[in-house]
């Protein structure tokens, strides 16, 4: 059976305020730590009413402190929003405090709208265009200390200097991301749950073109998928109505808190909206554990990930925990851990 991990957005609902959503993330992390999940990643988003956490590094420290076994990381740090030295310092600190349990996932996108992205970077050295590669290169140099002779950064040290950066993963939802991760020889995590690019193509390309590096001798691929599991197919479909309405609103640029099942069922959908919901369901796996496993297996077989990272966004926190429990049992996580 394939190992399972968790991707958490600290989802805000119409009945759960942001502060409570953050506490729910900590509670969920404790829960899955005991179920045998491999890692727990936190995303970075800004100015979204539906996402409580804009600072994964803060949440990583909190979650690592209350769990025992699970790796904790960023899914991811949006590198264009941060000075590479700051990222290096914070993740070296986390690695020093929780050795062998931290992951550094990096993303190219700002994780927000244009105005917020500008506010995040307006006091930094703002460059035009995509400077992700430049920032990634600088981040690596803070670890390798291979700045050119005479470069002023040779006199700057990312502390704590006796601790390495944790493993680096490149996140993506396009062919560019898979190509870059393969070229630089780093781990790759593909976001099937919102990508328009074909996941199988991206994952296969990454494996076939991977170049060994100091970061990794062999390809390491994670496939992130959206799953809602319940004891019955009917119950899971009911829980998924919240996702359906939320996704419909997001496609219109409305990043509202996740609605309840009752709100979703009462919404007056048009035929066009129902068609859009059916189309979005291609990115969501819904049902009882056996149904979900059956739906996922063709994608797993074709894309050959080393690990499946599951994001479950449902209104009720206990239902979300139950979904992860059912998946853990279906995929035999307790047996794998033993």
Query: Could you report the average pLDDT of every consecutive run of 10 residues in the chain (338 residues)?
Result: 96 97 98 98 95 96 98 95 96 98 94 84 66 93 95 96 97 93 97 93 97 96 98 98 96 94 97 95 96 97 98 98 98 76
The whole-angstrom separation of Cα 269 and Cα 247 is: 13
Q: In 3D, which of 288, 285, 273 has the Cα closest to residue 312?
A: 285
CA distance 210 to 187: 10
> Among residues 3, 25, 19, 63, which one has the least CA distance to residue 321?
25
In terms of Cα–Cα distance, which of 184, 51, 185, 43 is closest to 106?
Answer: 43
Residues 78 and 109 sit within 8 Å (Cβ to Cβ):
yes
Cα dihedral 20, 22, 28, 30, rounded to 10, equals -110
> What is residue 240's predicted lDDT score, i.e. its pLDDT?
98
Of 311, 320, 219, 221, residue with least CA distance to 261: 320
- What's this model's pTM, rounded to 2 decimal places? 0.94
β-pairing, 39-42 with 221-229? unpaired
Q: Tell me, what's the pLDDT at 109?
A: 84
pLDDT number for residue 121: 77
Exposure string of 62-80, with b = 16+ CB inside 10 Å and e = fewer, is bbbeebeebbbbbbbbbbb
pLDDT at site 163: 98
Contact between 38 and 5 under an 8 Å Cβ cutoff? The reply is yes
Cβ atoms 75, 189 nearer than 8 A:
yes
**8 A C-beta contact, residue 299 and residue 225:** yes
Angle at 91 between CA 186 and CA 35, to 5 degrees: 80
Residue pair 241/215 in contact (Cβ under 8 Å)? The answer is no
56-66 helix and 18-33 helix, angle to the nearest 10 degrees:
40
Check the CA dihedral 201-203-207-211 and report its sign: positive
Q: Helix, strand or coil for residue 225?
A: strand
d(CA 39, CA 188): 14
């Amino acid at each position: 059976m394939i190992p399972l991990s968790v991707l958490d957005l600290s989802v805000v609902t119409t009945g759960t305020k942001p502060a409570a959503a953050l506490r729910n993330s900590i509670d969920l992390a404790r829960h899955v730590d005991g179920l045998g999940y491999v890692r727990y990643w936190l995303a970075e988003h800004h100015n979204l009413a539906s996402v409580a956490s804009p600072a994964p590094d803060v949440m990583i420290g909190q979650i690592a402190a209350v769990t025992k076994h699970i790796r904790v990381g960023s899914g991811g740090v949006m590198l264009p929003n941060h000075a590479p030295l700051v990222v290096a310092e914070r993740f070296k600190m986390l690695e020093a405090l929780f050795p062998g349990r931290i992951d550094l996932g990096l993303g190219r996108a700002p994780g927000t709208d244009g105005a917020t992205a500008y506010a995040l970077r307006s006091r930094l050295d703002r460059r035009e265009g995509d400077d992700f590669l430049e920032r990634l290169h600088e981040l690596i140099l803070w670890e390798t200390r291979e700045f050119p002779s005479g470069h002023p950064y040779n006199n700057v040290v990312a502390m704590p200097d006796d601790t390495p950066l944790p493993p680096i993963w490149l996140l993506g939802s396009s062919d560019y991301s898979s190509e870059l991760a393969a070229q630089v020889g780093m781990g790759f995590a593909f976001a099937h749950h919102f990508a328009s690019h074909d996941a199988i193509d991206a994952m296969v390309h990454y494996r076939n073109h991977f170049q060994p590096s100091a970061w990794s001798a062999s390809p390491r691929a994670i496939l992130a998928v959206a799953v809602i599991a319940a004891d019955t197919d009917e119950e899971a479909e009911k829980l998924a109505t919240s996702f359906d309405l939320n996704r419909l609103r997001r496609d219109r640029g409305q990043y509202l808190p996740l609605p309840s099942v009752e709100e979703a069922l009462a919404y007056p959908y048009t035929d066009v909206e129902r068609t859009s919901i059916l189309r979005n369901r291609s990115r969501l796996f819904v049902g009882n554990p056996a149904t979900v496993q059956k739906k996922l297996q063709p994608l797993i077989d074709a894309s050959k990930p080393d690990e499946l990272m599951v994001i479950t966004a449902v209104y009720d926190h206990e239902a979300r925990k139950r979904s992860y429990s059912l998946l853990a049992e279906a995929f035999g996580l307790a047996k794998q851990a033993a």
